[in-house]
Structure 1
């Protein structure tokens, strides 16, 4: 197992020699929101174990996103929902706290084509690449999308998945040296969310416009910029990025 909160791979079993799968997860996404009672979540990603690599070797997690066999998240809000995909569509289950069981509440979710909302920390806009800042203006004035940003990836993602929209965390340059870097991690956040999106008809790309699911990580905690949501608006982002 690999966790966003742990520097290296974690051995979870006394004898895991026969384990067939590996899991990467973000145990508490949006943790800075706990004190103010805002929705938070858990994100998880499952791959098949590589047979010729030691089970505790971090190279187990150097697999492309399209090779995931399961991905999903749990959103802790006004209700607790589990959203996941095994590669056959995206399904939502809602917890009934009276009996402690999850019940199917939304089957084969499809993200709307329209971009109703955009979710981005606009406080960072001065650190964005010019093309990314321009794209946010495009969303506001040409698309007519409304800004909604919670600061919890799971919560922002879930709203956009259900209502239609795009989540952006572009690469930023906070040092002013012209080097733009991403913040969100491939293994724990981007790959599982991209898997869900594409199963729901959406699209996720990194800051250079490369599909997230095609990227093979070279570090356990590798980070990228990201734009993900309704397919048409993300494709427009890629087109504008390529022509910039």
Structure 2
């Protein structure tokens, strides 16, 4: 069942009004709408805590801001899931799937507080989630192709609190109005620009990357002196939600590839809790997402906490990275040009 309703909403509408316009009267759609509204309330609550920063009450004198907010985020969204029509809950913080209400129709995967290691530096953090129709087996609710997600979204806690959602028919952005504590629609059809010249990658791992990734980045860094004949800019925040929002609104490409470091050979980001929801949101904003070999939404996680390479952003740029992996003409070993050029090579 795909939630019905395709009504366009004017900017300035509330989240509740938007959900009413997007979800029809079928049981699954009503459950989806209710769950998203409850999650949004959790985002409001966590946003208020994050805004307190070092002023937040701590259970112990030596408790770090990070540990306090991680625990609060876990509690907030566990309570949200329990209040929603959710049968199966998978949290990035927990080892196994939890069954909450076996009679409920939905399954929720959530990373309660992504990039919490940046809290002390006041770096934007976020909550990432996706919703599936439940399967008969709790684990099977999440070990399935990403294209089977009914909805995905992220909240970004920064200079303003944003909620970005897709129900599979475009991507919408809501801004939390601090005066009314209400999410207001500020972009009903987020579209990723194609012509941006920025890329985001952790260049400190350059020596560990596979040849196609090195070749792609080398070509970008060469700028007008290289085969791309174009200047590029590199950005890196270290927060998946912050990187995602910049890419979706300003264009460009994000790469977190697999590499040859121990435990990173199959990627670093978690497929269920990060890669799958970001891939759906990105595609619905007109972009693309791949693991380097396949469209991410066509892949199936091997386990609940399986890792994945993640490349997403402007569609043509993602397709180009895929070509570097697929086409021998783009392979560093098969093209001597790449063997002698590249500003990252000592």
TM-score normalised over the length of structure 1: 0.92
Bigger helix share? 2
Task: Specify which of 145, 151, 156 is matched with residue 232 of structure 2.
Answer: 145
- Aligned equivalents of 2:167, 2:297: Cα separation in 1: 15
Question: Paired residue for 2:241, among 150, 154, 163?
Answer: 154
In 1, Cα distance between the equivalents of 2:176 and 2:197? 27
Does 2:193 match 1:112? yes
Partner of 1:123: 204
Instruction: Decide which of 74, 80, 98 is 1:10's aligned counterpart.
Output: 98
Superposition pairs for residues 4-43 of structure 1, below 5 Å? 4-11=92-99, 13=100, 16-43=101-128
Asked if structure 1 preserves the Cα contact closer than 8 Å seen for 2:213 and 2:324, the reply is: no
CA distance, structure 2, for counterparts of residue 68 and residue 93 of structure 1: 20
- 1:86-110 CA-to-partner distances (Å, cap 9, x unmatched) read 0111000000112110000111111
- Contact persistence 2:132–2:148 (CA under 8 A): yes
State the secondary structure of the residue aligned to 2:97. coil
Q: Once the 2 structures are TM-superposed, how far is the Cα of residue 203 of structure 1 from its aligned partner?
A: 0.5
1:95 aligns with 2:176: yes
**Paired residue for 2:310, among 215, 218, 226?**
226
SS in 1 for 2:266: coil
**1:136: how far off?**
1.1
What is the CA-CA distance between 1:145 and the residue it aligns to?
Answer: 2.3
Q: Which runs of 5+ in 1 are unaligned?
A: none
Q: Helix, strand or coil for the counterpart of 1:78? A: coil
1:35 is paired with a residue whose SS is: helix
Work out which of the two has the higher radius of gyration on C-alpha atoms and give 1 or 2.
2
CA contact (8 A) 1:119 1:149 kept: yes
TM-score by length of 2: 0.65
1:167 aligns with 2:251: no
Instruction: Give the RMSD, CA atoms, in angstroms.
Output: 1.5
Deviations 1:111-143 (A, max 9, x none): 001133211111111111121111112233225
Q: Distance in 2 between matches of 1:113 and 1:242?
A: 22
- In the TM superposition, structure 1's runs of 4+ consecutive aligned residues that sit over 4 Å from their partners are none
TM superposition shift of 1:10: 2.2
State how 1:198-217 maps to structure 2 within 5 Å.
Answer: 198-207=283-292, 209-217=293-301
CA displacement 1:198-244 (0-9 Å, x = unmatched): 1111100003x200000011211111111110000110111111123
Aligned to 1:75: 156
- C-alpha displacement at 1:180, in angstroms? 2.5
The structure showing larger relative contact order (alpha-carbon pairs under 8 Å, at least 6 residues apart) is 1
- Counterpart CA distance in 2 for 1:24 and 1:17 is 16
- CA distance in 1 between partners of 2:266 and 2:129 (Å): 23
Q: Is the CA contact 1:4–1:188 (under 8 Å) kept in the aligned structure 2? A: yes
* Cα deviation, residue 35, structure 1: 0.9
